[in-house]
Structure 1
Amino acid sequence: METCGVAMKWRRDGMSYWTRWCPVWAMLMCGALQAGAMAATCNKSVRWYDDGAYSYRGADGQPTGFYVELVREALRRMDCAAQWQEMPWARGLVELEAGKLDILPGARKTPEREKFAYFSRPVNRSPNVLFMSKAASQRFAFTRLADMVGTDFRLGIQLGVAYGAEYDELIKNPDFLARTQPLTSRRSAWGLLQMGRLDGLISDEVSAWVELQNLGLSNAVVKTRVVTSDDPGLLALSRLSNTPEFVATLDRTLQAMMNDGSYKRIRERFVPCVTSAETQACR
């Protein structure tokens, strides 16, 4: 069956040129295929890792969790598809800066990160809090991170994570730095607290709730009153692979999800509290 053909035409100067002709139905079909091809090219690589309620491997072997399903639905509404990349947080930042990763969910905005990333509107509010083993909580009564200086406290920190302004200043202090133990995975650190190899760990509050419950350590680890940061979690997007227009469209899509109730439904599937869409936090 013929679709599009090629015909020779003659100009007045006697020179020939080739032109394509197509029946109307074929032109419509070609247009539809081209539109589909354009939509299919909107693929965004998104970081995920074993991270409590935010992202984990589901029973079907595929990533799921609050951030996973939030980004998946937002991209779907934008006629885009997510390509999930499993990697630790620190590597995710490196890949984002290099333009090899498009989207890193759950990031906090810092001046350093703004050099290589755009940021979405806030999508989650859960403070970073100091947790201690029960034994350590009986030895140390800190009201702020600076109280650790001059003690033998052993603090677990996750590589590449932004813990707030006080932490950023303290980490320049050699004595405080000596108190810290860098970790690739936060989840494995809870066992180190239980075994007495660490005294404390800074963690997102929601992640701690879920992970301690899943590990059966809710009674072995104590939440302190030391809040290191309360900045909202955002979606970080590489400046090398995204445009301001894409970020603006993403923000409008996220706002629509806040308005129609889908944001609240997605968050409450994974976070153990009633969610406020106005604050993106537990009520």
Structure 2
Amino acid sequence: MRAMNDVLMSWRAVVLLLCLVVLPARSCEVLVRWNDDPPYSFRTADGRLSGLNIELVEQTLARLGCRAQWRELPWARALVELEAGRLDLLPGGLRRPEREGFAHFVAQNVLSRNLVFVRQPDRARIGSARRLADLPPGLRLGVQIGVVYGPEYAQLLTQPSFRASLTQATSRRNLWQMLALGRVDAVLASEASARWELSQQGLGASIVATDLLLSDEPAFVLVSKRARDADWARRYQQANDALEADGTMARIVQKYFGP
């Protein structure tokens, strides 16, 4: 009987040890959003995920002993999932007051310039406008659903007349086609994404950036407050800072943005 008890105790110890090994591994699988948004995130020809945000997140998580589980989501849906705690990380977001309640913000120190793009012959129509409010009346603006392009854009969204000028789409690729076909007059977009996508679609010469700068704020990684506590976000920030300190971040940024 004693021998049987010893066997049972041994099995219990083995099971407990397995639990201690498996649980941390599961808890360090981090759900991260990605979407087709080159050069930040995209699939290569052989099906692998690549891009600036993909590499920065994977390198940072590796230093925490974690790995990313990627979920493909449009931006607006990703914000909903992050707020609900069904998503851990949302890379590439700007810091906005309405997001403070559900997200910790990890600074990546990578600037994200948002600009206004138009067809080449229409560039003169924008003229010397330096604010969205200075654009000619009646201009139809193409934007992505749920994306906030800068402080002025966020403020103008409170005005019904401005919202009426917006044509919204989930995919920026569709917006470029709409601009090329004259269905919108301008598209708001990240400079890096625009350069990449317009080249891929053969529109690099016909669609150009204006001088109207919407935002040049640094991008953040948003960490769900429901899914991860402040201490975890702090450790993620420290791991991210280490990437910058040892030159890893600069090498990754140069790979996708150039010198």
User: What is the TM-score of this pair, normalised by structure 1?
Assistant: 0.83
* C-alpha distance 105-196 of structure 1, shift in aligned 2 (>3 A): same
Q: Compute the displacement of 1:171 (Å).
A: 2.2
Q: Which residue of 2 aligns with 1:156?
A: 142
**Corresponding residue of 1:40:** 25
Larger Rg: 1
Counterpart pick for 2:130 among 124, 130, 143? 143
> Residues 126 and 210 of structure 2 are in contact (CA less than 8 Å); yes or no, is this contact kept in structure 1?
no
| Partners of 1:128 and 1:163 within 8 A in 2 | yes
The residue that corresponds to 2:255 in the other structure is 269
Verify: 1:20 aligned to 2:9, yes or no. Answer: yes
Q: Show the 5 A alignment for 1:83-122.
A: 83-122=69-108
Alpha-carbon distance change, 21 to 229 in structure 1, aligned in 2, over 3 angstroms: same
2:175 to 189, 200, 215: 189
How far residue 187 of structure 1 moved from its aligned partner, in angstroms, is 2.1
Q: Distance in 2 between matches of 1:63 and 1:186?
A: 19
Give the drift of 1:209: 1.3
Aligned pairs (5 A) from 1:237-252: 237-252=223-238
> Do the aligned residues in 2 keep the contact of 1:72 with 1:82 (CA within 8 Å)?
yes
Q: Distance in 2 between matches of 1:156 and 1:61?
A: 30
CA apart distance, 1:32: 6.9
Contact kept in structure 2, 1:46 and 1:83, CA below 8 Å: yes
In structure 2, do the counterparts of structure 1 residues 264 and 31 end up closer, same or farther at CA, with 3 Å as the change threshold? farther
Alignment RMSD: 2.3
Contact 1:156–1:182 (Cα < 8 Å) also in 2: yes
* 49, 55, 60: which one aligns with 1:63: 49
Q: Are 1:77 and 1:253, in contact at CA under 8 Å, matched by a contact in 2?
A: yes
Greater RCO, 1 or 2 (C-alpha within 8 Å, sep 6+)? 2
Q: Which amino acid aligns with 1:114?
A: E
Is the 1:123–1:235 contact (alpha carbons within 8 Å) kept by the matching residues of 2? no
Residue 110 of structure 2 aligns to a residue whose secondary structure is: coil
Once the two structures are superposed, residues 12-48 of structure 1 have per-residue CA deviations (whole angstroms, 9 ceiling, x without a partner) of xxxxxxx8358xxx97x87874553243111111000
CA–CA distance in structure 1, aligned partners of residues 86 and 54 of structure 2: 19
* 1:173 CA displacement: 2.4
C-alpha displacement of 1:60:
2.4
Distance 1:235 1:161 in 2: 15
1:6 aligns with 2:5: yes
2:107/2:218 contact within 8 Å kept: no
Structure 1 residues 32 and 147, CA, compared in 2 at 3 Å: closer, same or farther? Answer: same
| Alpha-carbon separation, structure 2, partners of 1:192 and 1:99 | 35
Indicate if the aligned counterparts of 1:70 and 1:263 stay in contact, CA closer than 8 A: yes
Q: Which amino acid aligns with 1:76?
A: A
TM-score (norm 2): 0.90
The Cα offsets for residues 150-205 of structure 1, whole Å up to 9 and x where unpaired, read as x2211011111122221122222232222111111112211111111111111111
Partner of 1:280 in structure 2? none
Residue ranges of structure 2 left out of the alignment (5+ in a row):
none
Q: Give a deviation string over 1:60-106, Cα, whole Å, max 9, x none.
A: 21321110111111111211111110011111101111111110000
Q: How many equivalent residue pairs? A: 255
SS of the aligned residue for 1:270 comes to helix
Change (3 A) 1:145 1:253: same
